[in-house]
Structure 1
Amino acid sequence: MIEQISIDGVASYTGGAAVLSELRSVNFIFGANGSGKTTLSRVIAKPETYANCAVSWAGRSPLQCLVYNRDFIEENFTARMRGIFTLGHEDAAVLQAIEDLKKDIDDVSNTIRARKHTLEGPDGNGGKRKELHDLNTNFQEACWKTKLKHEDKFREAFRGVLNSRANFADRMFAEFESNSVDLKSQDDLETRAATIFADVKLRQDRLPDIPGSEIVALEAAAILDKRVVGKEDVSIADMIKRLGNSDWVKQGLGYFHQNGDCCPFCQQTTDDAFRHDLEAYFDETYQRDLDAIAGIATAYDEHSKSIIRQLDAVLLVQSEYLDRPLFEQTAEALRTKLSLNAQHIGRKRAEPSVKIILEGVAATIDTLNAIAAEANQKIDAHNALIDNIVSEREKLISEIWRYIVDEAKLPLEAYKTARLALTNAISGLTTGIAAKERERNEKSARLQELERQVTSVQPTVNAINSLLDSFGFRNFKLATAHEGDRFYTVIRSDGSEARETLSEGEKTFIVFLYFYYLISGSVSESGITTNRIVVIDDPVSSLDSDILFIVSSLIKKLFAKVQEPASTLKQVFVLTHNIYFHKEVAFDPKRSGGERRNFETFWVVRKKDDYSVIEGHLHNPIRTSYEMLWQEVRNENRSMLTIQNTLRRILENYFTILGNMDKDKIIDKFVGQDQQICNSLFSWVNDGSHNAYEDLYLACDSTTVERFLAVFKQVFAVTEQSAHYDMMMAPR
């Protein structure tokens, strides 16, 4: 069942969380219209839709909620009301099997609840899981004290777990489980730590070599030292050779073709033989040589760029062992040579007949690699030293942790034993709960099958119609619709549709009866024996006194049913604004001294200023409407917005109706200034309760309220009714 309800940030609940706690099987909630009762019923029905509200279930096991409020009326009073399936009486054996299965399911559910209680506590934040959490927390704190004790001397050994209690404790326990190095003394460890941890250096990467073999091979290419000219056995070869202008002729060949075989320089027309000789001079051999030169130019450019990237990479390394000035000077010389050679090769491409000689870079590259090799020898020596230090550091760190865990050996062993016991218990409970939940699911599936064999919607129709007839409602009744007889409709005695012609009271009554029988049934063929809670919100809002008595009698039967251990009804909430209905439904002759019984709670929902509050009571707080008025006066947190009307109603009830004394006679009891105050009091309460007075003339603040409450008391004194005032103001 529900143990606690918290409502906040919805509708009129804006003044902080309103909480109903320590709820029991039967819970009475009284409140005026607009105080927030329906909101409460809606939160119970669908708590997941209200972000700031919470419904806490016993054992954290939610039950089915059946909520009767105006939402239920609107949703269910339709042309076709869903039929209510109930168990029949045709097969006693099946009914007995259903009863036995229901008992088994309840027993299994109780076992699950008990195990969850042991595992997680009543609110999900306790139990064995909480014990394990607390054990780990205490262990972490103890380990942290060890860390603080030795941090100054052994800080480097704790690197990586210095800023986390959990991580430090995990490391300490892991070392306790696995560290088996020889135990050293604290003095020895501190002496070695002062040396090995003093200057922590890192390994350095070796410098890369500068690749040069490919570019050196390109420098030796024969094509660079070759005069690339055309074919010499054509008629114009001698002229070109004599003039030494083959490169110039090659460049002009393109213009010759563009100019329609006319000489681009003298503009004379040439014959076919001249064009043939000119093209034959620059044959395939000539073109292959040009392609070879172009290939060398491309390759030389790529290898040059690769070398420069390597040079830049070396210079980016911040190594103390590199002769940086010498390396930078030599690298700059290499860049210069590469740039000059690129220019020479570019000239060779433009003038193939020219011989070129490239600047040799092999010696320069060798010099750079020699400088890097010398640095690498020193880096290798440095890294060898670091490797040895790393090894010594790792050994020392392991020995320090061995000393630390040996110092805390007994607490560690105690923690290990306790943790093992708790983890085994948690594992066993978790496995057991899962097994019981599978068993419950299997039994529930079997129960649903049995329920389908003996359920029907007709018994509910018969029961409701019988009840209507016994109470004198003979002009309408329920009937099954003609859609598989799974729906109800409201009809007149002649069979015509009656839903639209029912009075508000008749409509409310028949929907309440529908809800009342739904409590023991289901709108499907299964789920009839599901455990559930019931919320009934203002069931007599539009009903007369006769029906009020009928409804209260039916609800009282639910109170008896909820006390039966085998009942599917586990909890009832009754909310109302009607004092007479509340007195009737809450009446219990066995309630001694007004104190509530051990299965019930009483609550009052009221507006404080402009937000709703909920107050719990140890006894039924509702006596009569007159007593309720005095309760508001007694309340120190009284609403300044309603106290006006409260005082007026008390004066009218006691002096005018019961005492037959009008206000003028009461005012006449006063003299002088007191008479003016009394007259002001009567004017104020009537003004505040019947008219929207303007704050310009009267501000309703706490000082005003207290002033007129004092005069209100004097009214009883001057009329010799102080005894009544004292009795009604006495603490309840």
Structure 2
Amino acid sequence: MDKIFQSEITQIKLDAATFKGTGECIEPTYINYFFGNNGTGKSTIAKSIQSGMGVTYAPGVSADDCQVLIYNQEYIDRNMQNFHNLPGVFTMAEENAEIQQQIDEASSKIDVAQKLITSAESEKVKLLDKKDRLDKNLYSEVWEKTNTLRTEDFPNTQTGVSNSKKKLAEKVMEYAPAEYDLNELKRMYSSAYAAVPKEYELFQAIPDSSVLDNIEGKDVLSIAIVNASETQLAEFWKNISSAEWVRTGHTAYHQKAGGKCPYCSQALPPNFEQKLTESFDDQYKKNRGRLEKFLSDYRDAANTLFIPIAKMPESVYPAIDLKPYKDKLDALKGIITANIQRINAKVTEPAKIVTLDDTAPLLAELQALIEGYNKLIEENNAVVDDAPKKKEECKDKFFAYLAFFVKDIMTAYRNSYADIEKQIKEQQAIITKQNAEINELTNSIRILNSQTKETESAMNNINLMLKDAGFQGFEVCPHWEEKISPDGSVQKIIPSPVRNYAVVRTNEITGEKEIAQNLSEGKKNFIAFLYFQQSVFGSTDAENLHRKKIVVIDDPVSSMDSGTLFIVSAQIRRMIHICRNNVDNRNPVVNGNFIKQIFILTHNAYFHREVTYLYANRWDFVSFYLVRKFNNKSSVTLYDQQNPDCPSERMNVNPVKNSYAALWESYKEVKSGIPLKSIIRRILEYYFLQLCGYEGDDLRKCILEDHRDDFMYDENGAETPDRYEMAKVLLSYIVADNSGVNDGINYTDDFLDVQLYRNTFKMIFKYMNQEQHFNMMMGIR
């Protein structure tokens, strides 16, 4: 379950020193306590925070927004190298309270503006993500919908974009939608992108579709051609209805009959030809001649028309479907044949009225087909003649057609895109406005800071705490500069503004203040902490006053006595109160919330207890960690557990009740013989020598003499000399550490059997009648 509150730093990935390659990751909240023995890796954690390596800040917060203030040994060395010459500490004086109030108000407004920026940036990120998803959906939809057109119909038109959904969609968006005839576009593509471009022969056009219907002399078909002669012979032909029969026979056979009748073979009268001619009138003969000429003209015109159009090009353009054309040719041939048969019938029976079928409609349809065919062929030939240009034209038309094909998708996309862009601009406007507000407020703070002056507040605070801690005769005062007067005397001049402070003691004889020399380690550390505290509550740089402060305190009570440790603990608790105000400002113990996050790292169980009891029950913004090292690899464990009173909630667990309890926790987990031996020695020493009051020799006698057989023999009476020797090792170790006496046994690395260590350790408690204490500390019921 995640913490409810997370402060400026939300994650620290550790990968330095003994954390190298461990993958350890911390997700801190506002107040963070780390406990661990010296050398386990606490300082590595502090330095990681200071350097920013592996550090992740909350959304809307960057390292530039924060000032990391770290108190550690390096800080002490840097500032106390010449401990009598501390850098200047600048804070706000009481008379500047009104200005400070204005600065606080401006800082509060900056916080509000930053929250608005964070919210707007978060919303902007969501909108950008939404826009990204919108883009990806568009790319997929366009890709899928145009798949057949792209891959089957026009595969070679997408050079450079054929393998990218994104590039394809962006290419389509460059074109205005245009609706083209898809078949025409395919034919153009076929010609422009053909492997071997080819030109084709045109079809023969029909100059005049009415040519057969308007042949001169057609009116003769509607005339009943009859013989009007009144000679005796003509009357005879009429009576027997044989006039046409006689004329036909005469025409066919009179040259071959030899003066005889071709039907009865009797000799014809000498004047037969004259009488036969007189038996047919002139009009009849004239109409007969017109009919025969029309038949001849019709046949000639039909041949002139049909033969060229029936002969198609040797190589036909593949896009042309010839079936309609052939069907119409067959139909035309049928009509012409039928018309000739009708004309022949009239020749046989001139008196018969005949009507011909019109060919013009069919020829017009044929001509339309031919024109369509020729248009396709001409388009192909034009493409072939200028292939590069036509390829580009074809490609442009293809993408314009795609734009038309997916216009509904594009319209929906553009509408959604415009809406998202509008919202992004609105959020950006908020960010821009609030950034301008922050810049203006920051400038105001800078001006207000310039109106303040360096004061003695920090110096007075340090001196007050030095006095409370019992540092008699020591104080901090502005450091002077020595100036030699013309008479050779030396004057001590304090510069204005004060640039440095000095740690001084008063000379008991002269009463003058002298630079303090040879301060103890504890005193130097205490003064360094007091100086650090002033930089937390004030600043050494006016520019940093409005930056969020992250405080890191690494083992602050090293070499301090109980008095100074108490004061340091109290001051750190004050810092914790200020940090707590960021998430819970009800009934604040101290005012302010400028410490945005705090990290406290220590190996001192007493100090740890002094600074952790305040908010140990606030799991939502307080975290406890235990830092350990095994086999030269460090680890960090978050100490919390399920709340037994409310299973749906979690609660903090302080890993350190006291230093003695910490030893037992380490005893339970250590797996290596040498560190286990050290832990056992420290437990035995603390419990039996300090708490129970045994002397080392008494404890040795009780175990090695009074209970010798219990260690030398097991429950079955078998010898177990290893246990006895192990007991000698552990007890001799205690005596050697405390009195410098041992029995000459070489025990440092002789025994590395971890289980033997543990069994012997337990037996010591058993035979000292302290088994119940062992079970309690081990959690055995």
Q: Which bracket does the TM-score occupy, shorter chain normalised? A: 0.5 to 0.7
**2:606 match:** 580
CA distance in 2 between counterparts of 1:464 and 1:89 reads 16
Q: 1:604 to 1:499 in 2, by over 3 A?
A: farther
Bigger CA radius of gyration: 2
Out of 52, 72, 76, which is 1:73 matched to? Answer: 76
SS at match of 2:163: coil
**1:483 match:** 495
The alignment status of 1:626 with 2:632, answered yes or no, reads: no
Out of 2, 17, 24, which is 1:11 matched to? Answer: 17
Map 1:15-30 → 2, pairs under 5 A: 15-21=21-27, 23-30=28-35
Q: 1:527 to 1:169 in 2, by over 3 A?
A: same
The alignment status of 1:43 with 2:39, answered yes or no, reads: no
Out of 583, 597, 621, which is 2:619 matched to? Answer: 597
Offset at residue 557 of structure 1 (A): 0.9
Offset at residue 582 of structure 1 (A): 0.5
* Contact kept in structure 2, 1:184 and 1:399, CA below 8 Å: no
CA distance in 2 between counterparts of 1:658 and 1:61 reads 51
Q: 1:518 to 1:656 in 2, by over 3 A?
A: closer
CA distance in 2 between counterparts of 1:609 and 1:652 reads 25
Map 1:615-694 → 2, pairs under 5 A: 615-618=637-640, 619-635=653-669, 638=671, 642-651=675-684, 653=686, 662=700, 663-664=703-704, 668-670=709-711, 671-672=713-714, 675-679=720-724, 681-682=726-727
The alignment status of 1:493 with 2:506, answered yes or no, reads: yes
Q: 1:91 to 1:170 in 2, by over 3 A?
A: same
Out of 542, 557, 563, which is 1:540 matched to? Answer: 557
Which has the larger displacement, 161-170 or 680-689? Answer: 680-689
Q: 1:3 to 1:511 in 2, by over 3 A?
A: same
Offset at residue 667 of structure 1 (A): 6.1
CA distance in 2 between counterparts of 1:720 and 1:411 reads 86
The alignment status of 1:610 with 2:636, answered yes or no, reads: no
- Give TM-score, length-normalised by structure 2: 0.60
Q: State the AA in 2 paired with 1:630.
A: W
- Unaligned stretches of 5+ in structure 1? 121-126, 203-381
Q: State the AA in 2 paired with 1:522.
A: S
CA distance in 2 between counterparts of 1:731 and 1:179 reads 82
CA distance in 1 between counterparts of 2:30 and 2:668 reads 30
CA distance in 2 between counterparts of 1:607 and 1:99 reads 44
Offset at residue 401 of structure 1 (A): 3.6
Deviations, residues 485-513 of structure 1 (Å, cap 9, x unaligned): 22111111234444432111111111111
CA distance in 2 between counterparts of 1:722 and 1:148 reads 82
Offset at residue 386 of structure 1 (A): 5.2
Offset at residue 584 of structure 1 (A): 1.3
Offset at residue 183 of structure 1 (A): 4.5
Out of 199, 207, 232, which is 2:195 matched to? Answer: 199
CA distance in 2 between counterparts of 1:684 and 1:84 reads 55
SS at match of 1:488: strand
* Contact kept in structure 2, 1:98 and 1:450, CA below 8 Å: yes
Map 1:132-531 → 2, pairs under 5 A: 132-146=131-145, 151-153=150-152, 154-172=154-172, 174-175=173-174, 178-185=175-182, 193=189, 196-199=192-195, 388-402=386-400, 404-405=402-403, 408-481=406-479, 482-484=494-496, 485-494=498-507, 495-531=512-548
Out of 86, 92, 98, which is 1:87 matched to? Answer: 92
SS at match of 2:537: coil
Offset at residue 441 of structure 1 (A): 1.6
SS at match of 1:160: coil
Offset at residue 666 of structure 1 (A): 6.0
* Contact kept in structure 2, 1:648 and 1:682, CA below 8 Å: no
* Contact kept in structure 2, 1:609 and 1:640, CA below 8 Å: no
Which structure features the higher share of helix residues? 1
* Contact kept in structure 2, 1:7 and 1:13, CA below 8 Å: no
Q: State the AA in 2 paired with 1:197.
A: Y
Q: State the AA in 2 paired with 1:551.
A: V
Q: 1:169 to 1:712 in 2, by over 3 A?
A: farther
CA distance in 2 between counterparts of 1:189 and 1:397 reads 10
**1:285 match:** none
* Contact kept in structure 2, 1:12 and 1:610, CA below 8 Å: yes
SS at match of 1:615: strand
Which has the larger displacement, 564-573 or 574-583? Answer: 564-573
**2:8 match:** 2
**1:59 match:** 60
* Contact kept in structure 2, 1:65 and 1:533, CA below 8 Å: yes
CA distance in 2 between counterparts of 1:435 and 1:2 reads 23
Offset at residue 622 of structure 1 (A): 1.0
Offset at residue 521 of structure 1 (A): 0.9
Offset at residue 454 of structure 1 (A): 2.6
Q: CA RMSD in A?
A: 3.7
Which has the larger displacement, 572-581 or 424-433? Answer: 424-433
Offset at residue 674 of structure 1 (A): 7.3
Map 1:544-559 → 2, pairs under 5 A: 544-559=561-576
- Unaligned stretches of 5+ in structure 2? 1-6, 199-379, 480-493, 583-591, 641-652, 738-744
Q: 1:87 to 1:195 in 2, by over 3 A?
A: same
SS at match of 1:536: strand
| Percent identical | 28
The alignment status of 1:567 with 2:593, answered yes or no, reads: yes
- Give TM-score, length-normalised by structure 1: 0.64
**2:373 match:** none
* Contact kept in structure 2, 1:157 and 1:397, CA below 8 Å: yes
* Contact kept in structure 2, 1:66 and 1:535, CA below 8 Å: yes
* Contact kept in structure 1, 2:549 and 2:594, CA below 8 Å: yes
**1:131 match:** 130
* Contact kept in structure 1, 2:628 and 2:636, CA below 8 Å: yes
